């Protein structure tokens, strides 16, 4: 099990304390901040669980592997112009447009 990190964040002043290894240390940061910045009042704030360095490395590695897999999958696809169905649909649309233009010219 990876160690959990705790970070105190004050939403009022947008201040964040460094990540701590225990919730008690984060509470001490909160109490210290309240005493110094808010004169003992209780602003909107919270103690959040934050990823530690090992969590960040694992998440980064997984994101890179997923991006690489998506890139390889995309590069292995054929270009749309090489697919016969798209070429055929393009030709049919062009022929249909030409017929409509010719009929419009003949009817006038």
Which 8-state DSSP code applies to residue 15? Answer: E
Residues 72-99 pLDDT 10s: 666 555 555 556 777 888 889 999 999 9
Residues 61-71 pLDDT 10s: 888 888 888 87
Alpha-carbon distance of 80 to 70, in angstroms, equals 18
Alpha-carbon distance of 93 to 86, in angstroms, equals 11
**88 phi/psi in degrees, rounded to 5:** -65, -40
Alpha-carbon distance of 68 to 66, in angstroms, equals 5
* pTM score: 0.45
Alpha-carbon distance of 73 to 38, in angstroms, equals 54
């Amino acid at each position: 099990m990876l160690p959990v990190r705790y970070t105190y964040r004050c939403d009022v002043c947008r201040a964040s304390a460094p990540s701590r290894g225990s919730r008690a240390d984060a509470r001490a940061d909160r109490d210290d901040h309240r005493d110094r910045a808010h004169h003992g009042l209780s602003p909107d704030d919270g103690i959040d669980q934050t990823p530690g360095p090992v969590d960040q490395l694992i998440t980064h590695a997984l994101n890179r592997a997923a991006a690489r897999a998506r890139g390889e999958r995309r590069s292995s696809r054929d270009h749309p112009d090489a697919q016969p169905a798209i070429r055929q649909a393009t030709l049919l649309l062009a022929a249909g447009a030409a017929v409509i233009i010719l009929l419009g010219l003949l009817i006038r």
